[in-house]
């Protein structure tokens, strides 16, 4: 049974991987973003998740992104390395590499494309969990994997020694109560859906692995902290401020909108890797208006070219 000594709570940023227009990784900006999130109060960083475009990143760069994040963080913030794959052997290899890099935990997604049975999902995660002593958060995101974990599967996984939590990106906050009654007290439940994250935490969840926090780290930290304290009125107020933005950032496949927003703020270059493409023109005003409504300062650089990292407070 997992003993969650990490006790990670609050806002965890699913960090983008900054790139140049040709798709090369912008390592300098990657380092700047990590320092910025630490300064803004982010509670943990998730590196090389789906928001980080890992399906298009070579294995050696995947591992290097994790290693650099650990090195820059210097124990100032927990680093969670995304080590999921639809091949169990590859997931094990990545998890070993993340452990060797010094991460605090790993995030492992339900195998995608294969469409495994519930037994297959359980055996996949069991094999990864048993490969090395590294705390593991399992990740349920059926919109991407086309395979949803059942409550029974989650409960079974929660009995494994180093499976310490669940990232739930289903948007189904109703199952929080059911899970809380069935999993060990040390097992953590994290939302993976910004639009319902505050309600998820108010229902008893422990935090949010957030896309929106890429551009509003301090505000997302405050929202999660308020929800953990049960301050409903203030949670409602901040949630209303973020409602349009949380919707707009998923108007096309993640991380297309969030990267466009960060370019619009002037903090990253305009870089994505195919098959992802830039935000469709018909959605530009939608995302921009949602950013303005949330109080995000926009760059005057209409060309969208990074001219220097400019962290800000909101």
| 3-state secondary structure (DSSP) of residue 12 | strand
Say how many C-beta atoms besides its own lie within 10 A of residue 148's C-beta: 15
What 8-state DSSP symbol labels residue 184? -
Backbone region of residue 146 per phi and psi (left: phi > 0; alpha: psi in -120 to 50; beta: other values): left
- Please report the pLDDT score of residue 297 as a whole number: 87
Could you report the per-residue pLDDT of 116-135, keeping only the tens digit for each? 999 999 999 999 999 988 99
- Please report the pLDDT score of residue 2 as a whole number: 38
- Between CA 119 and CA 153 the distance in angstroms is 8
Core vs surface per residue 73-82: b (16+ CB within 10 A) or e: beeebbbbbb
* pLDDT score of 50 more than 50: yes
Task: Find the helix packing angle between 232-248 and 217-228, rounded to 10°.
Answer: 140
Residue 9's pLDDT band, with cuts at 50, 70 and 90, is very high
- 246-252 — which CB contacts under 8 Å span 24+ positions? 246/194, 246/195, 246/212, 247/195, 247/290, 248/283, 248/286, 248/287, 248/289, 248/290, 248/291, 249/194, 249/211, 249/212, 249/287, 249/290, 250/195, 250/211, 251/283, 251/286, 251/287, 252/279, 252/280, 252/283
* pLDDT score of 273 more than 50: yes
- Between CA 188 and CA 8 the distance in angstroms is 8
- Please report the pLDDT score of residue 299 as a whole number: 80
* Backbone φ and ψ of 79, nearest 5°: -110, 125
Q: Check if the beta carbon of residue 17 is closer than 8 Å to that of residue 57.
A: yes
* pLDDT score of 114 more than 50: yes
Active site residue 112: no
Among the listed residues 112, 122, 139, 190, the single catalytic one is 139
- Please report the pLDDT score of residue 283 as a whole number: 98
Percent of the chain clearing pLDDT 70 (strictly above): 94
- Please report the pLDDT score of residue 304 as a whole number: 52
The topology under which CATH files domain 10-235 is: TIM Barrel (3.20.20)
User: What are the distances in angstroms from CA 272 to CA 30, 32, 53?
Assistant: 14, 19, 8
150 token code pair? 């059942």
Looking at every residue in the chain, the average pLDDT score rounds to 93
122 token code pair? 């359980």
Residue 3's pLDDT band, with cuts at 50, 70 and 90, is very low
Say how many C-beta atoms besides its own lie within 10 A of residue 161's C-beta: 13
pTM: 0.93
* pLDDT score of 53 more than 50: yes
Domain ranges (residues) in the chain: 10-235
312 token code pair? 């800000």
Among the listed residues 167, 190, 259, 306, the single catalytic one is 167
Lowest mean pLDDT segment, chosen from 148-152, 243-247, 253-257, 303-307: 303-307
136 token code pair? 């593991």
- Between CA 29 and CA 263 the distance in angstroms is 12
Could you report the per-residue pLDDT of 135-170, keeping only the tens digit for each? 999 999 988 888 899 999 999 999 999 999 999 999
Active site residue 139: yes
- Please report the pLDDT score of residue 4 as a whole number: 45
What 8-state DSSP symbol labels residue 41? T
Could you report the per-residue pLDDT of 274-308, keeping only the tens digit for each? 999 999 999 999 999 999 999 998 887 654 556 55
Q: What is the CA radius of gyration of the chain?
A: 18
Q: Check if the beta carbon of residue 296 is closer than 8 Å to that of residue 216.
A: yes
Residue 309's pLDDT band, with cuts at 50, 70 and 90, is low
Output 237 or 133, whichever has higher pLDDT. 237
Residue 1's pLDDT band, with cuts at 50, 70 and 90, is very low
Helices (H) and strands (E) in the chain, counts: 12, 8
């Amino acid at each position: 049974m997992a003993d969650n000594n990490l006790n990670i709570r609050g806002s965890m940023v699913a960090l983008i991987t900054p790139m140049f227009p040709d798709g090369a990784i912008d390592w300098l900006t990657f380092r700047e973003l990590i320092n910025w999130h630490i300064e803004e109060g982010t509670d943990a960083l998730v590196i090389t998740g789906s928001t980080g475009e890992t399906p298009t990143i070579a294995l050696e760069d995947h591992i290097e992104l994790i290693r650099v994040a650990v090195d820059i963080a210097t124990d100032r913030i927990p680093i969670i390395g995304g080590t999921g794959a639809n091949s169990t052997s590859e997931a094990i290899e990545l998890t070993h590499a993340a452990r060797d890099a010094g991460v605090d935990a790993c995030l492992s997604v339900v195998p995608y494309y294969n469409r495994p049975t519930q037994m297959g999902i359980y055996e996949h995660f069991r094999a990864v969990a048993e490969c090395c002593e590294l705390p593991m958060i399992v990740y349920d995101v059926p919109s991407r994997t086309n395979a949803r974990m059942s409550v029974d599967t989650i409960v079974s996984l929660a009995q494994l020694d180093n499976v310490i939590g669940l990232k739930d990106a289903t948007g189904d906050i109703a199952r929080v109560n059911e899970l809380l009654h069935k999993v060990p007290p040390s097992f953590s439940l994290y939302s993976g859906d910004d639009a319902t994250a505050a309600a998820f935490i108010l229902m008893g969840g422990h935090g949010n692995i957030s896309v929106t926090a890429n551009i509003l780290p301090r505000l997302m930290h405050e929202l999660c902290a308020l929800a953990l304290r049960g301050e409903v009125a203030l949670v409602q107020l901040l949630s209303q401020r973020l409602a349009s933005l949380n919707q707009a950032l998923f108007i096309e496949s993640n991380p297309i909108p969030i990267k466009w927003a960060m370019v619009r703020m002037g903090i990253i270059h305009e870089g994505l890797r195919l098959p992802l493409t830039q935000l469709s023109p018909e959605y530009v005003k939608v995302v921009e208006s949602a950013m303005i409504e949330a109080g995000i300062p926009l760059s005057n650089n209409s060309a969208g070219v990074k001219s220097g990292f400019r962290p800000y407070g909101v």
